[in-house]
Amino acid sequence: MQLPRLYGLSALVLTHIHWRQCLAISSAAPDSWQQYVRGPSSRIVYPTSVVSNYTTGNVTNPEGLVDGQGQTILTRSLTDTEIPTIVLDFGINVVGYLNITFGGASDNSPGIRLAFSETTTYLTNLSDFTRSYNGDAITNGTDQIAVPADPYVWVDSYGCAHGIQDCADGLHGFRYVKIYLDALTSDSPYTEASGEVSIDSVSLRYSALLGTPDTFTGWFECSDEQLNQFWYDAAYTNDMVIDTFGVNDSDPRQSASPSLVGKLVLLDGAKRDRDPYIGDIAVSGRSLYLTHDVSEAVYNVIGDAADHQRSDGWIPPASINNYTLALMDYPLYWVLCSYDLFLYTGNTSYVRKYYSTLQNVLNDYYPSITNSTTSLIDKNVGGASSYGDYAFLRRSGTITYFNALYVLALKSAANVATFVGNDSDADNWTERAEAVSTAMNEYLWDNTTGAYLDSLDDPVSHAQDGNSIAVLAGVTNPSQAASLLAYLDTLALPYGNPFYDNDRIGSGYSQRVYAFISYFEIQARFLSGNATTALDQIRRTYGWMANNDPTTTFWEGIGTNGSMYEGAYTSAAHGWSTGVLPALTNFVLGAMPTGPGFQTWSVKPLPGDVTWARGALDTPSGPLNVSWTTGQVSQFSVYVEIPSGTSGNISVPVTSSTSSVLLDGVLVWNGEAANNSNATFADSYVTVPVSGATANVTVP
The verdict on whether omega for the bond into residue 258 sits within 30 degrees of 0, i.e. cis, is: no
For the chain, residues with pLDDT lower than 50 are: 1-29
In the chain, the N- to C-terminal Cα span, in Å, equals 29
Pairing of strands 647-653, 600-603: parallel
- The CATH topology of domain 44-206 is Jelly Rolls (2.60.120)
Q: Which of 530, 527, 422, 423 is nearest to 475 (CA)?
A: 527
How would DSSP label each residue in 554-595?
A: --S-B-GGG-BTTGGGS-SSBGGG-THHHHIIIIII-EEESS
Q: What residue ranges do the domains of the chain occupy?
A: 19-36+594-699, 44-206, 224-578
Find out whether 348 and 596 touch, Cβ atoms under 8 Å. Answer: yes
User: In angstroms, rounded to a whole number, what is the distance separating the alpha carbons of residues 416 and 288?
Assistant: 21
What pLDDT does residue 30 have?
Answer: 60
The verdict on whether omega for the bond into residue 550 sits within 30 degrees of 0, i.e. cis, is: yes
User: In angstroms, rounded to a whole number, what is the distance separating the alpha carbons of residues 404 and 420?
Assistant: 25
What pLDDT does residue 5 have?
Answer: 29
Pairing of strands 636-641, 624-630: antiparallel
Task: Write down the CATH superfamily of domain 19-36+594-699.
Answer: Maltose phosphorylase, domain 3 (2.60.420.10)
What pLDDT does residue 131 have?
Answer: 85
pTM to 2 decimals?
0.95
User: In angstroms, rounded to a whole number, what is the distance separating the alpha carbons of residues 91 and 128?
Assistant: 17
What pLDDT does residue 25 have?
Answer: 44
Helix (H) or strand (E) holding 133: none
User: In angstroms, rounded to a whole number, what is the distance separating the alpha carbons of residues 608 and 640?
Assistant: 20
User: In angstroms, rounded to a whole number, what is the distance separating the alpha carbons of residues 668 and 678?
Assistant: 8
Find out whether 114 and 154 touch, Cβ atoms under 8 Å. Answer: no
Q: What angle do CA 98, 239, 516 make, to 5 degrees?
A: 115
User: In angstroms, rounded to a whole number, what is the distance separating the alpha carbons of residues 53 and 123?
Assistant: 12
Find out whether 589 and 222 touch, Cβ atoms under 8 Å. Answer: yes
Find out whether 572 and 546 touch, Cβ atoms under 8 Å. Answer: no
What pLDDT does residue 631 have?
Answer: 84
For 264-299, give one letter per residue: b (16+ CB within 10 A) or e: bbbbbbbbbbbbbbbbbbbbbbbbbbbbbebbebbb
Find out whether 560 and 566 touch, Cβ atoms under 8 Å. Answer: no
What would the CATH number be for the domain defined by 224-578?
Answer: 1.50.10.10
What pLDDT does residue 17 have?
Answer: 34
CA torsion angle 186 187 191 196 (round to 10): -60
What pLDDT does residue 250 have?
Answer: 87
User: In angstroms, rounded to a whole number, what is the distance separating the alpha carbons of residues 341 and 495?
Assistant: 32
Find out whether 568 and 549 touch, Cβ atoms under 8 Å. Answer: no
CA torsion angle 220 222 224 228 (round to 10): 10
Find out whether 189 and 287 touch, Cβ atoms under 8 Å. Answer: no
How many residues in total does the chain contain? 700
Helix (H) or strand (E) holding 531: helix 531-546
What pLDDT does residue 633 have?
Answer: 66
What pLDDT does residue 256 have?
Answer: 80
User: In angstroms, rounded to a whole number, what is the distance separating the alpha carbons of residues 257 and 320?
Assistant: 8
Q: Which of 381, 374, 257, 272 is nearest to 325 (CA)?
A: 257
> 124 CB contacts (<8 Å, ≥6 apart)?
115, 117, 178
User: In angstroms, rounded to a whole number, what is the distance separating the alpha carbons of residues 42 and 275?
Assistant: 25
